[in-house]
Amino acid sequence: MVTNPPELKELEQRTYKATHSDGVIDVFVGLSMVVVGVTWIVIPNVLSGVTAGVAIAISPMLAWRRRFIEARTGYVMFTEPRRLWERRIYTTVAVLFGGFMLLARPLGSLKPEDIDWIMGPDSLVVWLVAAVLLLLGTLTKLTRLLVYSLVLISAGAVPFIITTEAFGWPLLISGAVIVAVGSALIRQFVTRHPRIGTP
Amino acid sequence: MNKRQPPTPQPPAEIDRLIHEPARLIIMATLYVVDEADFVYLAQQTGLTAGNMNSHMARLVDGAYVAVEKTFAANRPRTIYQLTEKGRTAIQEYRQQVGNLLAPIETMQ
């Protein structure tokens, strides 16, 4: 008996992709990177607090996104294996984010002239995020995550090309690009899926 | 001369006609790949109008292929559909039936 035919898998992937084409998470992630980047450049001493603020905002953002999506495309719950897979991704991202939060205080007190590393901590952070997005993009087949990954890798190289007096520029640049793409996606999503009444 | 014998196709009467209708097939396939979904989601995914969805869904529910649950979300009614075990088995068997039926064509190519 056929239990998991390839074309049904393809349908599941297509359905999953369609449910994640709204751009809300993109804008949130992009904005968070912009906020963290600007903070790191302007007031690095509060980097830790700002990062914690971003972490606190994740849960309300996800709840709001759920309402936003369901009001336009309806409610769907994916299968248990998919949900388990999602939980693993969320856990990985949470662990990485937690790691960054722990490092935020010492990172915020660093100055470019204090270190003689080959690369700055901001480049390392964006490349780490790029690696995560590369993995996520490959697993979810969400092409834009691969594009974001390339943007982050390029932005991470900025301090090598342009001498900066503070850390955070790679985060700011790549965050701005992700916000722009995410905003375009939200606009497209809202146009394609206007708010609907429940039958 | 060695003649290749194509597999004997199943008579069309054995095809599950409840699933065989294209609109119902896409509803069943969509429900097969998710755990559960509401009316709005299914209508959007399948491209069916509300009226069409209602009539096809009623037949699938009558055939016990789909289970319905009426709930409320944010004070608004929500109709959630889920494939039953019978429906899940039926779509797997349907695939097998269609596969058997089309096998001779694939053999000829």
Contact A8 B29 (CB under 8 A): yes
Considering the domain boundaries, does residue A4 fall inside one? no
Considering the domain boundaries, does residue A5 fall inside one? no
Considering the domain boundaries, does residue A160 fall inside one? yes
Residue A142 makes CB contacts below 8 A (sequence gap 6+) with A17, A20, A136
Contact B34 A1 (CB under 8 A): no
Contact B36 A18 (CB under 8 A): no
> Chain centroid to CA A133: how far?
8
Considering the domain boundaries, does residue B11 fall inside one? no
Considering the domain boundaries, does residue A197 fall inside one? no
Domain that holds residue A172: 26-71+80-192
Considering the domain boundaries, does residue A12 fall inside one? no
- Comparing CA positions, the residue from A130, A123, A135, A189 lying closest to residue A160 is A123
Given this model, what pLDDT does residue A180 score?
Answer: 96
Given this model, what pLDDT does residue A190 score?
Answer: 93
Q: How confident is the model at residue B104 (pLDDT cuts 50, 70, 90)?
A: confident
pLDDT in tens, A124-149: 888 888 888 888 888 877 888 899 99
Q: Which residues face B72 on adjacent strands?
A: B77
User: Between A and B, how many residue pairs show a Cβ–Cβ distance under 8 A?
Assistant: 71
Provide the CATH number for the domain around residue B87: 1.10.10.10
Please, is B92 exposed, middle or buried when counting C-beta atoms within 10 Å of its C-beta (0-12, 13-18, 19+)? Answer: middle
pLDDT in tens, A78-119: 999 989 988 888 888 888 888 887 887 777 777 666 666 656
* Number of domains chain A contains: 1
Task: State the DSSP code for B76.
Answer: E
* Number of domains chain B contains: 1
Given this model, what pLDDT does residue A1 score?
Answer: 37
Judged by a CB distance cut-off of 8 A, whether residue B13 touches chain A is no
- Comparing CA positions, the residue from B49, B2, B3 lying closest to residue B23 is B49
Q: How confident is the model at residue A3 (pLDDT cuts 50, 70, 90)?
A: very low
Q: Which residues of A touch B42 (CB under 8 A)?
A: 74
Q: How confident is the model at residue B2 (pLDDT cuts 50, 70, 90)?
A: low
Residue A124 makes CB contacts below 8 A (sequence gap 6+) with A156
Q: Hunting for tokens 């790549």 — which residue is that? A: A174
| Residue B42 scores a pLDDT above 90 | yes
Q: ipTM score of the complex? A: 0.80
Q: Which residues of A touch B50 (CB under 8 A)?
A: 199
Q: How confident is the model at residue A185 (pLDDT cuts 50, 70, 90)?
A: very high
Query: How many alpha carbons lie under 13 Å from residue A28 in its C-beta half-sphere?
Result: 17
Identity of the residue in A1, A79, A80 whose CB atom sits nearest the CB atom of B96: A1
Residue B13 makes CB contacts below 8 A (sequence gap 6+) with none
Q: Read off the pLDDT of each residue in A10-21 and give the average, rounded to a whole number.
A: 84
Mutate to test the interface with B, among A10, A12, A77 (most CBs of B within 10 A): A77
Q: Which residues of B touch A67 (CB under 8 A)?
A: 74
Considering the domain boundaries, does residue B10 fall inside one? no
Considering the domain boundaries, does residue B7 fall inside one? no
Considering the domain boundaries, does residue A181 fall inside one? yes
| Residue B32 scores a pLDDT above 60 | yes
Interface list for B 28-67 with A (CB within 8 A): 29-30, 32-45, 50
Contact A74 B41 (CB under 8 A): yes
- Comparing CA positions, the residue from B47, B68, B45 lying closest to residue B57 is B68
Q: Hunting for tokens 């780490």 — which residue is that? A: A128
Mutate to test the interface with B, among A76, A77, A83, A86 (most CBs of B within 10 A): A76
Domain that holds residue B82: 16-108
Contact A41, A172 (CB under 8 A): yes
Given this model, what pLDDT does residue B55 score?
Answer: 95
Considering the domain boundaries, does residue A154 fall inside one? yes
| Residue B11 scores a pLDDT above 60 | no
The pTM of this model reads 0.77
Interface list for A 3-42 with B (CB within 8 A): 3, 5, 8-9, 11-12, 15, 18
Q: Hunting for tokens 């899940």 — which residue is that? A: B88
Considering the domain boundaries, does residue B9 fall inside one? no
Considering the domain boundaries, does residue B8 fall inside one? no
Edge-to-edge strand ranges of the sheet holding B34-38: A76-78, B34-38, B76-83, B66-73
